[in-house]
Amino acid sequence: MGKADQVMDICLLAGEIMLTYGAETYRVEETLERMAKASSFKNVHCFATTTGIFLSFEEEGKEDLMQMVRIDDRLQDLNKVTEVNQVSREYVNHELDTEEAHEKLKAIAESPVPYPLWLIHLSAGIAGSGFALLFGGAWPDLFPAFLAAVLTSVTVVEFERYLKVRFAAEFAAAFLGGSLAIALVFFGIGDNVNQIIIGSLMPLVPGVPLTNAVRDLMSGDLVAGVSRGAEALLTALSIASGVAFAISLFL
């Protein structure tokens, strides 16, 4: 395999990891262009949207090379984005050669989430109950909000693991979390049903697509920005309809 093919491979692998796990489009384009230029290729162009990356560059004395990858999943794991960022920085500074960079990127792609799943569910509970209190709840609301937020987090993870339909998972999670909150208040655990429901929904907030949509629109990646905004809006709508369903059934 020639050097151009190798560099193309590591660039696209880096871009694929970053875009899948929640990097902004501009960061992907800039990283890939820098890596290709650092390998002394000319005429480097990269175009990334939310669902795919195109990269082309010219090898000295040969024709232009161009490849694309399609991004199917959009997950949230900012740790991987940070690690790929680190690898690309070392590669651009020539502290890593092509082989080492490829090994490191492969290791990042295969590594699991940095925090165990139980810790993620636990912190969803803590974050949810904390925000229930900050949004005007009282101390007795802390425990039911914790339970409902944990249920929301568990539902969204387990539903996605088996059925792989993202918006349905969010709908189901919002529905179950809201139902549990209403049930707990009905049995006398907690006072403010509204604040408990808000707390239980907080772990579903589409923070990554929302922030990235703003960033992408401002750096001129209009296609990527609008599609990310649509994604965040769809998530917000499925949460709202899920909890609206629970409320109109039980309250």
Partner 1 sequence: MMFFLELIICFIATVGFGVIFSVPRRALLLGGGIGVIAYTVLNTGLYLDASPVFSTAAASLTAALFAHLLARIIRIPVTTLAIPGILPLVPGSRAYFTMLAFVDGEYLTGLEYGVETMLRAGAIAAGLVFALAVFSFGKGVGHRYETNR
Query: Are the C-beta atoms of residues 125 and 150 closer than 8 Å to each other?
Result: yes
When binding is defined by CB under 8 A, the residue of 65, 69, 120, 234 that contacts partner 1 is: 120
Contact residue for partner 1 among 25, 49, 88, 153 (CB under 8 A):
153
Please work out the total of residues on this chain that contact partner 1, with binding judged by CB under 8 A: 57
In angstroms, give the least distance from the CB of 243 to partner 1: 7
Tokens standing for 11?
Answer: 């660039």
* CA dist., res. 88 & res. 243, Å (int): 42
Position 18, amino acid = M
126: contact with partner 1 by CB under 8 A: yes
Residue 115 touches partner 1, criterion: CB under 8 A:
yes
Q: At its nearest, how many Å lie between partner 1 and the CB of residue 102?
A: 22
Specify the stretch interacting with partner 1 by CB under 8 A; choose among 37-45, 47-55, 93-101, 195-203.
195-203
Residue 236 interacts with partner 1 (CB under 8 A): yes or no: yes
Work out which of 92, 226, 234, 247 binds partner 1, going by CB under 8 A.
247
Residue 45 binds partner 1, judged by CB under 8 A? no
The reply to whether 82 sits near partner 1 by the rule CB under 8 A is: yes
Q: What contacts 24+ positions apart, CB below 8 Å, involve 187-194?
A: 189/140, 189/143, 189/144, 190/140, 190/141, 190/143, 190/144, 190/145, 191/138, 191/140, 191/141, 192/136, 192/137, 192/138, 192/141, 193/251
* Binding positions for partner 1, 200-219, rule CB under 8 A: 201-203, 205, 207-208, 210-212, 214-215, 218-219
Contact flag: residue 176 with partner 1 (CB under 8 A): no
Residue 124 lies near partner 1 (rule: CB under 8 A): yes
Angle, vertex CA 144, rays to CA 138 and CA 149, nearest 5: 110
**Beta carbon nearer to partner 1, 71 or 150:** 150
**Of 28, 76, 73, whose CA–CA distance to 206 is shortest?**
76
Among 135, 140, 191, 223, binds partner 1 (CB under 8 A): 135
Residues at the site binding partner 1, with contacts judged by CB under 8 A: 22-24, 27, 76-83, 85-86, 89, 113-115, 119-120, 123-127, 129-131, 133-136, 153, 194-195, 197-198, 201-203, 205, 207-208, 210-212, 214-215, 218-220, 236, 240, 243-244, 247-248
